[in-house]
Structure formats: structure tokens, C-alpha cells
Structure 1
Amino acid sequence: MLVDSPRIAELAERPGDLAAFWAEVERRGTPLLEPADDGSRVVTFVWRGTPGTTDVLLLANRLTDRDNLAASRMRRLPGTDLWHLSYLLPDDYRGTYQIAPDFSGQHDADNAHWQRLMATARTDPFNPDTVDTGRNGLASSVVELPAAPEQPWWRPAGAPAGRVSEHRLTSTILGNSRSIWLYEPREASEGTLVLFDGNVWFPRLSFQHTLDNLIAAGAIPPVSAIGVDTIDVPTRRRELGGNPDFVTFLTAELLPWAGQRLGASPAADRTVVAGQSFGGLTALLAGHLAPDRFGNVLCQSPSLWRAQHLIDAYPAGRDIRLHLSVGRYERDMVDHTRALRDHLAHQGYPVSLTEYTGGHDFVCWRGCLADGLIELTGARDHLSHVDG
């Protein structure tokens, strides 16, 4: 919800304090956080314009509405170089954002306009916390409010490092070639993780550090990981949008190929398939079509609008465990994911659901992915487990 910032209101009454305000911003960083009566926070995003700046847009994950970009136009404090926009957010919010300054044009939602807009976006120069997910070729700034769930696993912490190697795999089934990242733990592997969007998780987000830390802490057993490149956006939509041929590629080509290089092909109960968005949909489809290969499904923010029949597709009686997660700012995805959880539970599946205060966002998924691995692999009687 958009609100007014008390701090900016004070500044409007005393514009002579602007230099001190900018000095404070440079010292403390952004966004500005102010307490609200209900325990929420007034979160104010700012931009320092130039004399020629005429328009600034905030592009915040799932706060900005692509169909109503005008609502995300930052406001200029009259007679100053300060542009600002404030939201009232729960104290456990986490998300990413970019800022698009000096953009001229209509604030409509057609794809060509959106691509031009994204080309002007950049990180917040006053916020040192960034994450690189490859969005429009640039990093995004990160905002984490004080009560946001801890994410203790993703930072390098000196744990014994597994080995990551990049390979090329040509698929006869799909008729293309792609990069594959293989992670091999220092200890003998006891399972396998198949992870979509490997081109983001390994070269950009260094997910191997999460695996190193989880294994070293005993939160999960030693597991190998297979990061699957999505090649490009059109290929991702075609292959991960509920495509049975892609599941055939996983079972008939990828797993045998990776098993030869990793020296093991674990049973289904020790194999996890994981993905986000379209990848979450495909993880769900893989468990449905190939339960003999994937006994654990880690499904994050699944794009069930693309294939709502999967909500009711799982029959009773299969030996599959599922962990779901979704952000409270993901609109219809929340209801779809809850409906999926309810159906799976009714069918007798061990299923858990985590809802976090955030959006469709890798900065949220990186923590929930680790939590899901702990949930699916750390709780088995025959595998080690600690609370994490």
C-alpha cells in the first residue's frame, strides 16, 4: 500500500535540510525505514535526480503493477532533486527492486514498452545489497526488513567446498544443446538434486555455497546437484510450461548422462526435482509423470495458471514427498498453491507449504530452496537431520 513518509513530510516543511538529508542517505543507505503503528514499516525508496530528470519509476518485484505503472512513478519533492515513493510493508518483507530514471514515454504495459523500460533500469546507488539474477542483464537491489526470515545458508562460510563443473549436453528428444552444471560434494553423495534455471543458480547465485554449508552443518546429507540451463526465454517457456517431452528428456537423457559422470544414479526416494515459476510447474509435472525417478518434489511459486489441471492431477498412493512455497505478494499464485497443497494432503501425500512475505523473487527463493531441501532430505530416518 502506498503511503506518505513522515520523514519526507518533515523535509518538505524544511527544504533547507536537504543537504543533511542526502548526507544521511549516503551514510545509512536506502531504502529509508520508519516504524508504523501496526508494527509494519514505512519503506521509502529515493532517487537523486539531475536538473533534466522528468520521470523516475520504481520497479519493485510484485509491488510494481505492470498493468498500472503510473502508480509506481516516484514523486518529486518540489524544488529539489529528491524523488521518492513510500510503501507500508510488513516487517518480515524481503524483495528486490530496480529504479528507472529519465524514462520518457507512456506508462503502458505493452511488451515493447516494457522492454525499453527495463533497458533503463538500474540498481539503487545508495543500497550496497544487490543480487544478480540476470534480469535485463543487470543486478537488482535488495530490501530486507528486520523480521524477514533468516537465510543463513547462501553466503560462503568456509565450509568444505564441493566441485562445480560445466558441461554441454545435446538432446535428441528436444533437438537442442545446453549447458549443465554438476555439483559433486566432498563426501560420497547420498542423493541427487535436479535444479532448473541452473544458469541462474550456479554462475550467478553461486548455489554451491548453499549446498556446501547445508552439508557441512549436517542439515542435509551429501548430495550431488544437476543444474539445467534454460537456454533462453522462448525455450524456457516452451520446455518448462508443462511440456511432457521435457520430462522425458530428464529421465531418458539427463539422468543417465549425469549418472555416468557423477558415478551414481540414486533411487527415486533420494532424488529431488526442484524449480521456480515455470520450473516449479515442471518439477510438479516430473513428479506426476515419473514418480519412479523423482520421489521428492520441491515446487516454488509454481505457474499453475499455465496448467491448472496439475492441481488435481496427482492420484493417491504414490510414494512422493512434496514441499511447496509461495510469496504472499504473488496474487493468484497464492490461491493456486494452497489449492494444490489441499488436494495433495487429501490424497495422502506428505506435503508442506511455506508462505513468505515477498514476491516472485530469487532473493526469496534462495532461502526457501534451502529450507525445502532440509524438509525433504533432512527429515528421513535413514539420513542425517538437524533443524535449520
Structure 2
Amino acid sequence: MRTQVAIIGAGPSGLLLSQLLHLAGIDCVVLEQRSGDYVLSRIRAGVLEQGMVDMIDRAGVGARMHKEGLLHDGFTMAVGDTRLRMDLKGLTGSSVMVYGQTEVTRDLMDAHAARDAKVIYEAEAVTPLDFDTDHPRVTYVKDGVTHEIACDFICGCDGFHGVCRKSVPEGAITEFEKVYPVGWLGILSHVRPVSHELIYANHDRGFALASMRSHTLSRYYIQVPLDSPVEAWSDEAIWDELKIRLGEEAAASMETGPSIEKSIAPLRSFVVEPLRFGRMMLAGDAGHIVPPTGAKGLNLAASDIHYLSTGLIEYYADKSAAGIDAYSQKALARIWKAERFSWWMTMLLHKFPDLGAFNAKMQQADMDYLASSTAAQTSLAENYVGLPF
């Protein structure tokens, strides 16, 4: 098989890239190790920056998002006795869209199915080869048969545990990592959200977040020790903890019910440099991870795809490699700003066992400064709604 761009990974970043390239008349093939149903079963982020909303529209798959998504003009932060609503719209002129990553993926999958796009699910032993030459290729196994795809470029959109980053020679890549000693225990439940906007809370017992996927589907998180087994937490225990950490006002109006999904996610900051290796580029979680505190993971993947798709389209339309050559530098400049913001939000809103009373005082001082400074609030809001691409 011959194609122009081979994309490894059929999550939202890989499918978004494929759709944008298709609209520009560029031939591509998407390879995915898992089944389509498995990809759709993954519960992930749900807060979209305006830049990602615009990209989804540009890809022609935004109709359901605008119909079912929830526009949020602000959110609430609570640290100690200080409770502050961040007026995103008033401070920046922009809002965020609450629309689950699963739904973004579903919309992209539907668009691919409608045009009978080349997406190969359950492709085993996917291997990127010769990407340091002018003739890269990808091999994979399907139904016991080995196949090869010759291509111009390979795009690694295959996540943190994917094969693309692991295929890069050790001396050609630098990793930067910070692992936090806590996890997020998340539950999804068919109950009415406790608030029409998100609530981020730092309580003496730890962090909590009240979020949602719709008017009838709520997503909640609490900070737990990293080694805490999910089986140790009953639904009742999680609801009780949420009522304590989110405060009396939220507790009084909180609806509870059985969880339909429950899991613990570790918190990690991770970046690799560079993101381009000859004719293979990394995008999304393959190249970087952020703690979920700042709602940047999916949005960072979108900005990667913006730079990557723009570079590839320029390469084929204008016979210019300038965009591809600048991809890693441009993407990393935005990635590190988002990493800083996510790290800062994480440090502000969590109780860490090794930082003690001093850190608690710093968190309260940070929150008091936010409450008293429009400039500080504007900086937070600007980062939360998303820096420009």
C-alpha cells in the first residue's frame, strides 16, 4: 500500500489530523492497535478551549458539539476559606466548551465512516521504519498477515505508551518528567451536576473537582494516594468525601447515584524534545502529558495537530517544507506554557504529603492574591481558555 501520510493512532488527535488532511486532498491511512469500540470506551477530558472548538468546526464535525455541548463562561475555585468565581468571559472575552473527548472521537469516527476513510483497527505489531530516510514505511499485522505501507511521512498520534516514541533512537530524544505522589479517583454518574459550572476545591483532606458531561451526566474527582486501590472506594464513600471537600453549599444540593465508571488516574508532567525525527512527527500524548488539573491534555493535542496539519498541507500545496521544519519548535513553545499552567494549578489545588504547612500557607497566599488582583485573574483565565495557536 502507498499513501502520503501514515497516521498511527485513532484517538482524537489522529482522527482530527486525518480529517483535516482529507479536506485538503491529502491521502492518509490511520492505524489503530485497538478496536473502535475500545477507543470509544475510554473516558477522558471534557473541557475544550476555543481553539479546539474552531478546529473541530474546521474539520466539519462540529454540529453535534454545538447542539449538545455546554458553553461555560467561568468556574469556581475554593482554597481554604477563599471561594472565587473566575469570570472567563469577562476577563478574556472567551468561553470554554464542555463536551466529552469520547463525543469528539465519536463525531470524527462518524465522519470517517461516512467517507469510507482508510482506518485500520486492530492492527497488531505496528512498526514505523526508515523514518530517518526519504522513504519511510510502516509495517503491521492484520488477521495474521503482515502488511507494509510506504509513505512520505509518519505521524505518531499513538499516546504515551505507543510505539512511535519508543522507536526513536535513545540519543536522539530528551525526556522531561515530574511524577506527582497523588492520583485522581474519578466517577461518572447519571445525576444532575451540583453546579452549572465546574468547581475546583482544595480542602484539608485534599483536592476535589465537580465537573459534568451534560445536564444529566456528572463527572467528579477526588485526590487519593497514588497507591490507593479503586476497589477500596465504594460509591457511598466517594459521595461522602465529595460532600466534605466541595463544601456545605455543594453538599446540600448534590444528587448521588451509582457510578457507571470508576477509575484512578496518576498525575504526571512529561515532555519530549524534539517532536520531529526525520520524516516522523509525534503529536498529543505521544510527545507530552499534563496533569488534568488545567484541562490541557486534549487541547494540547489539538494545537499539535494545528501546527502539524498546517505544515503538511503547506508541503503538498506549496512544495514548501517550512511548516514541517518549524513544527517541533512551534508546538513545544505552546506545550511548555501549558505544562507550566497545569503544574501551577496542580500545586495550588492539591495537598502533597511531603510539602507540609509551608506549602499550605503558600497555597492560601496564592489564592488570596488571585482574589485581590484582576491582573492575576486575567492571567489564569487567559491560560485556562487557551493561549493562541
Q: TM-score, normalised by structure 2?
A: 0.20
Between Structure 1 and Structure 2, whose CA radius of gyration is higher? Answer: 1
Q: TM-score, normalised by structure 1?
A: 0.20
Higher relative contact order (CA 8 A, sep 6+): 2
Larger % of helix: which? 2
